[in-house]
Amino acid sequence: MAGLKVFKHLSKPIPMSIATPRPFVLKSIRVSNYKSIDELHLDLEKVNVLIGRNASGKSNIVDVLKFLKDTIQEGIQPTVMRHGGTLGIQNILSTKKKTTIHLSGTFAPGFPIDATQSMGFHYELNFMALKTKKTVRITKELLKFIDHTTKEIKVEFIRNSTGKIRAKRKKIPSMQLPQNVSFLQVPFDTPLLMFRQAIEDIAIFNFNIQWMKEGIPIESTIDLEEDGSNLASVVSSIIKDDKSKRRFLHYVNYILGFVTDVSTQNILGSSHILAVKEKYSKEYLVTAPALSEGTLHIIGIIVAIKFQSASLVILEEPERYIHPSILKKIMAIIYEEQDNRQFLITTHSPELIENTFPDNVILVDRDKKGRTTIHHPANDQTVIQFIEDGFTLAELMVDNTL
Amino acid sequence: MKGGNAIRPLLQLLFYVEGDIDQLFVEKIIAPQMNIEPRVIPLKANFKSGKLASRKIRSALESKRKGYVDLIILIDSDADNYGKWNEETKKQRINQFSKEMGIKPNQFQDCISFAVIEIESWYLAGLDMNDRKKLGFKKSTPITDHISKQQFQSICNKKTDIPLYSEIIKHYNIQEARKNNASFDQFMNQIKDYLS
């Protein structure tokens, strides 16, 4: 395709990728009546970069997945309240009463049903506000697993508006749940549990640099918090193992050439903070409060991209605090990692888009009525004409063509 | 279409203008009035070379030629004064633009329009005398065909900044503007025909 010459550097992956299997691949998200979204169908690739003006709805697309994660952990009622309340969560201009979230994708062989082949899944959650507008109830929930080869439904769980759950093609006694409890909150069967874990494993990152600078209680964890506040603990776990420390430092040094070591320092015995050694001084450690925002952010991003167990990593505006030339390297390690996990990135950065394959760029926009719409610029004939004439998507974004 | 609920093609109408104030005018006045959703692209972006603008226009014209997109170019007439704006000076302006962009006049003649003398005259034209007074403009004739950027600045009594243009937009009356400015009226007819 025209315009790909700028991506030559991506054809030479940097060494030492971590080959963790991808048990879960999200192929599409369909949403109706959620915040600025009236109807939206987004097919996902391995790398997906959402661009669009402020308030176009990029974060609302991410929020759909956050909503599902929160629903599983806290229940739908508190989740609705946390995400805008019964009025805020629905599209105010929509004529629809129900909100629907639909995910489809595949699980790797052996996960969760068949040991020999990958399995397709469809999950659907429907809910609506009750007349009082203060509470919501789930009107329908469905999860089914489909054999890719035969298209046969292997197992299906359906929950109706009264909370009754029945399973098809599996002998499980029907169950009754309260009206606002998702069956993923109480996963009573292995496929449900596996699907729940896959959703829980979606990692969403929107770092808060100030919190990353503060000391945190020492704990052993590999799961980085959404705001990055436990970065010191995660880095501490990574560098405990010599092999993973070497790999980690390789990526840090690839992007931040002046960093020779990353460690954590105890403060007051029970807390620790991140510390970095620079090539300019062999003894002196720069601790998190004195580190540049960019350095901390980049270390957080490396951890998010390469050192998390998530099958889907979502990065919200990773370009913050980062020099444009470094974004090229960030995108290089994302593409290097794309066979291990999926990425969904929101950005306003032309440099980041400059280093993204045009096919992976998704434009989020709003129509005349304010409804979020999506487009693939690389499929638009006029955009193709511009690209053939030597323009890049980034240039078209900056000059308002996109 | 791959992956999406695109309810309309991404790019339907490209609207090239000279600068930011022209962009504001098209987005806030023309687009809602004509019920269109153009991408309005300023050609004179800060610190960008003219070469880039000409490449952009050429790509857009090629796309239009292939039938993918509609295209409108709106530029100032830049005539010394309104009295001098006629078929001959129009031809000269087209030739000048053609030279700047490195494209032949017959490639864009059907989609180019002119704000006479400059877009500021269109802004002022949409205000009736009461609104002009309310916004602090010095007394001026209702007709604005002869208004250049400099004249607009001299009668506006205050800094010509974004709040001023936004305030004008808030009070803007299209019918008044069509009555008070011949080139704006002509443009509105032209765009209506072009888009029909």
Question: What is the interface pTM, i.e. ipTM, of the complex?
Answer: 0.80
Preferred mutation among A37, A40, A366, A385 to probe B, highest tally of B CBs within 10 A: A385
Nearest-neighbour CA in chain B from A370: distance (Å): 12
CA distances from A46 to A25, A31, A103, A360, B181 (A): 8, 20, 16, 8, 55
Residue B114 lies in a domain: yes
Type and span of the H or E element at A283: none
| Residue A107 parent element (H or E) | strand A98-107
Alpha helix segments (H runs only) across A136-292: 190-200, 209-213, 231-240, 242-255
- Does residue B2 belong to any structural domain of this protein? no
In one-letter notation, the amino acid at residue A389 is: D
Does B23 reach chain A within 8 Å, measured CB to CB? yes
**With an 8 Å Cβ cutoff, is B47 touching chain A?**
no
CB contacts, 8 Å: A379 with chain B:
1-2, 10
List CB contacts of A337: < 8 A, sequence separation 6 or more.
A17, A18, A305, A306, A343
Question: Do the chains contact at A400 and B4, CB–CB below 8 Å?
Answer: no
Please report, rounded to a whole number, the percentage of residues in chain A having pLDDT higher than 70. Answer: 93
For residue A6, is pLDDT > 90? no
Q: By the 8 A CB rule, do A53 and A81 touch?
A: no
A42 against A108, higher pLDDT: A42
Alpha-carbon distances of B98 from A360, B94, B112, rounded to whole Å: 37, 6, 11
Higher per-residue confidence, B37 vs A57: A57
A390: nearest CA partner in chain B: B55
Of A27-41, A264-278, B71-85, B167-181, the one with minimum mean pLDDT is: B71-85
pLDDT in tens, B83-132: 778 889 999 999 999 998 889 999 999 999 999 999 999 999 999 999 99
The number of beta carbons lying within 10 Å of the beta carbon of residue A134 is 13
Give the model's pLDDT for residue B49.
59
pLDDT tens for residues A8-56?
333 333 333 344 556 889 999 999 999 999 999 999 999 999 999 999 9
- Give the structural domain span for B28: 13-195
> Which one-letter amino acid corresponds to residue A233?
S
B66 touching A (Cβ < 8 Å): yes
Is residue A160 within 8 angstroms of chain B, CB to CB? no
List the beta strands (DSSP E) in B56-104: 70-76
Q: Which residues of B touch A41 (CB under 8 A)?
A: 3-5
Judge whether residue A361 has pLDDT over 70: yes
Query: Which residue is associated with the tokens 């919501």?
Result: A136
Within a domain: B100: yes
H or E element in which residue A354 lies: helix A350-354
B7, B45, B63: residue with CB nearest A382 = B63
Between A70 and A221, residue with greater pLDDT: A70
Strand partners, A312: A342
The number of angstroms, rounded, from the C-alpha of A176 to the middle of its chain's C-alpha atoms is 32
Return the pLDDT at A12: 35
pLDDT of B45 reads 63
Query: Is A379 in the B-facing interface, judged by CB distances under 8 Å?
Result: yes
Residue B111 lies in a domain: yes
For residue B13, the distance in angstroms to the closest alpha carbon of chain A comes to: 10
How many domains are there within chain B? Answer: 1
**Cβ–Cβ of A374/B6 closer than 8 Å?**
yes
Using the Cβ of B121 and the Cβ atoms of chain A, whether some distance falls under 8 Å is answered with no
Query: A389: which chain B residues are within 8 Å (Cβ-Cβ)?
Result: 55, 58-59, 62
| Confidence label for A154 from pLDDT (cuts 50, 70 and 90) | confident
The 3-state DSSP class for residue A213 equals: helix
Is B151 within a domain? yes
CB contact under 8 A, B58 and A42: no
User: Has residue B6 been placed in a domain?
Assistant: no
Q: Do B3 and A374 touch (CB under 8 A)?
A: yes
Type and span of the H or E element at A110: none
Give A335 to chain B, closest Cα distance, Å.
20
Burial of A197-211, coded b for 16+ CB within 10 Å and e otherwise, reads: bbbebbbbbbbebee
CB distance A400–B60 less than 8 Å? no
- The answer as to whether B118 is a domain residue is yes
Q: Is B129 part of any domain?
A: yes
Question: Looking at beta carbons, which residues of chain A come within 8 Å of B56?
Answer: 386, 391, 399
Contacts of A390 in chain B (CB under 8 A): 55
